[in-house]
Amino acid sequence: MKEALFYENLENQKVHCFLCRHHCEINDGKRGICGVRENRGGTLYTLVYGFPCSHHVDPIEKKPLFHFYPGSKAFSIATVGCNFRCRHCQNHEISQIRKDDGHIYGQRMTPSEVVEGALKSGCKSISYTYTEPTIFFEYALDCAKLSKEKGICNNFITNGYIEQEPLKTIRPYLDGANIDLKSFNHDFYKKVCGAELDNVLASIRTFRSLGIWIELTTLVIPGYNDSEDEFRAITRFIKNDLGTETPWHVSAFYPTYKLTDVSRTPAKTLQRAREIGFEEGLRYVYTGNIPGEDGENTYCWSCKKLVVGRYGYTISEYNIKDGACLFCGAIIDGVGM
């Protein structure tokens, strides 16, 4: 165990956690919503420091991050636990441990070993992913500090519920993030995720204001968040609050966990979302979970020619040099393009 960051003591050995926007008040002997931060005698501990449940080498496109060192590899790590309750979670076996017996499982892996693994596997970055990196913040922070010293970048694949001060703390070491904007509907966030939309929007704005490269992902669920009005609301938020250069990924839903009675997302729904994104002025809109679609490719926002061709997680064509389109010279937004 390791003492947690970002909490304060209350009366009767109670603690108040400020790591994420739930602001859990935790009684002695209890855990926060995430299931991995526990109050023991008035001291809040993280139970997952140096104890990942998963680590893999992934293509960065799998995150998905399409404008962050395209074609590179990411050393991906996660611990058990999450501060959301998403009914459609594809990694619920490791994220929703408090729904079972609360058992913390994984294998010992120090921050030095994580960085060593990234170096040996030729990874350009470390991705904190699969569950929610905020809930293993202390571990991610120490890994990120060490990796920066070795020339390795860092990115979060996150639900966007981290508080401002923790995000500012890790900012010097955090280069990019893909943030889920699961819906633009307050009821959806409350009923499906156990969270508040306004808190997610505030967090996304903070990422942007701190200069962290961000891409947003919306998993489109039929009957839940697939209306044209919602697509327009999301794209207008991106355009007005983040900038037209912010990539938006719309991905297909597949029945899983507690939403097995919902059908898969039709390709035409994603195609329409992509059209709306372009209609509203976004430069880059992508369709995901449907390999072979034209929406996997990156086109120059200026001359409209193909600059990055993709099939699934594989890059088939690359027409960018020094961050600029080879055809017209326009700058293609991103990091390491």
**SS3 letters across 224-281:** CCCCHHHHHHHHHHHHHHHCCCCCEEEEECCCCCCCCCCCCCCHHHHHHHHHHHHHCC
**Rounded distance between C-alpha atoms, residue 196 and residue 180, angstroms:** 13
**Rounded distance between C-alpha atoms, residue 145 and residue 157, angstroms:** 18
What mean pLDDT value characterizes the chain? 96
What are the tens digits of pLDDT across the range 68-86? 999 999 999 999 999 999 9
Instruction: Return the domain boundaries, the chain.
Output: 1-169, 181-296, 297-337
**Rounded distance between C-alpha atoms, residue 283 and residue 333, angstroms:** 9
Helical pair 267-279 and 228-237, crossing angle rounded to 10 deg: 40
pLDDT over 80 at 248, yes or no: yes
As a whole-number percent, the residues of the chain with pLDDT over 90 amount to 95
pLDDT over 80 at 66, yes or no: yes
Q: Are 129 and 63 in contact (CB under 8 A)?
A: yes
What pLDDT score was predicted for residue 38? 96
**Rounded distance between C-alpha atoms, residue 191 and residue 182, angstroms:** 12
**CATH number belonging to domain 181-296:** 3.20.20.70
**Rounded distance between C-alpha atoms, residue 176 and residue 68, angstroms:** 7
Residue 5: exposure state from Cβ atoms within 10 A (0-12, 13-18, ≥19)? middle
pLDDT over 60 at 100, yes or no: no
What are the tens digits of pLDDT across the range 287-324? 999 887 899 999 999 999 999 999 989 999 999 999 99
What pLDDT score was predicted for residue 98? 64
Residue 101: exposure state from Cβ atoms within 10 A (0-12, 13-18, ≥19)? exposed
pLDDT over 80 at 94, yes or no: yes
Residue whose tokens read 């505030």: 202
pLDDT over 90 at 264, yes or no: yes
Say if strands 37-40 and 43-46 run parallel, antiparallel, or are unpaired.
Answer: antiparallel
Task: Give Cβ neighbours of residue 287 (< 8 Å, ≥ 6 apart).
Answer: 249, 250, 251, 252, 267, 270, 271, 273, 274, 293, 295, 296
What pLDDT score was predicted for residue 30? 95
Task: Give Cβ neighbours of residue 63 (< 8 Å, ≥ 6 apart).
Answer: 74, 127, 129, 155, 157, 178
